[in-house]
A and B are shown apart, each in its own frame.
Chain A
Amino acid sequence: GAGVSQSPRYKVAKRGQDVALRCDPISGHVSLFWYQQALGQGPEFLTYFQNEAQLDKSGLPSDRFFAERPEGSVSTLKIQRTQQEDSAVYLCASSRRQGNTEAFFGQGTRLTVV
């Protein structure tokens, strides 16, 4: 596609509900990143894939957060048993390869946990 596409754009979840956020990277991009952005803050790194391999998940805040990219293209970020502190914008980015290359971001998914 022309750009990174994320869905849904907005998600309201009741506390304790599981959610799944989808990211379609730019076609042919090898690297895919997930970030979390709290209100008034800069994006914070969550996890990174190179093709289907999850090379870094050091930023995932708890074991309730899980990400996958089974075929090396579309990725899903899943949050189990959502809590209010999970409310944030979740941003996905992709780049042609890892390192020394420009990253492009999607529009984000705004998650509100009530």
Chain B
Amino acid sequence: GIQVEQSPPDLILQEGANSTLRCNFSDSVNNLQWFHQNPWGQLINLFYIPSGTKQNGRLSATTVATERYSLLYISSSQTTDSGVYFCAVESRNSGNTPLVFGKGTRLSVIA
């Protein structure tokens, strides 16, 4: 099945810093989503982005489907951005497959 790799696995930022999280995937995709899992375990939808670029406030994402990667940008980070960021993809070539998750990037933003 499709493989999803996220980097870095852990990231510590000073409040106000910018960061880039990466998601590599091994096959063509129909769907790619970025999620933020907050300290209470809730998966919050950030972006539905199988291709192209989107922005939402301090967050933006870019997926280059032909090169099989996606990037999540966080600007002017805040302590509330802490948590785990997951990339999840749905393979185009494996029939009716569900979302497959990467292992996540654990972000800690310190004041």
A pairs with B: yes
Query: Residues of A with Cβ closer than 8 Å to B?
Result: 33, 35, 41-45, 48, 50, 55-56, 89, 91, 93, 98-105, 107-108, 110
Are A45 and B96 within 8 A (Cβ)? no
Q: A41-B103, A101-B31, A104-B45 are in contact. List 16 more A-B contacts (CB 8 A).
A: A42-B86, A42-B104, A43-B86, A44-B101, A48-B98, A55-B96, A56-B97, A56-B98, A98-B96, A99-B31, A99-B96, A102-B45, A103-B88, A107-B40, A107-B41, A110-B41
Are B96 and A56 within 8 A (Cβ)? yes
Q: Which of A35, A48, A99 has the most C-beta atoms of chain B within 10 angstroms of its own C-beta?
A: A99
Q: Can you list 8 residue pairs at the A/B interface with Cβ under 8 Å? A: A35-B101, A56-B98, A99-B30, A102-B31, A102-B48, A103-B99, A108-B41, A110-B41
Q: Hey, what's the 0/1 contact readout for B74-90 against A, CB within 8 Å counting as 1?
A: 00000000000010101
- Enumerate chain B residues within 8 angstroms of A44, measured Cβ to Cβ: 101
What's the least CB distance linking A102 to chain B, in Å?
A: 4
Q: Which A residue sits closest to B84, measured CB to CB?
A: A42
- Enumerate chain A residues within 8 angstroms of B88, measured Cβ to Cβ: 43, 103
Instruction: Tally inter-chain residue pairs, CB-CB below 8 A.
Output: 57
Q: Which B residue sits closest to A108, measured CB to CB?
A: B41
Say which residue of A41, A89, A99, A103 sits within 8 Å of B33 (CB atoms). Answer: A103
Are A42 and B42 within 8 A (Cβ)? no
B100 at the interface (CB under 8 A from A): yes
- Enumerate chain A residues within 8 angstroms of B90, measured Cβ to Cβ: 99-100
- Enumerate chain B residues within 8 angstroms of A98, measured Cβ to Cβ: 96
Say which residue of B31, B96, B102 sits within 8 Å of A42 (CB atoms). Answer: B102
- Enumerate chain A residues within 8 angstroms of B40, measured Cβ to Cβ: 107
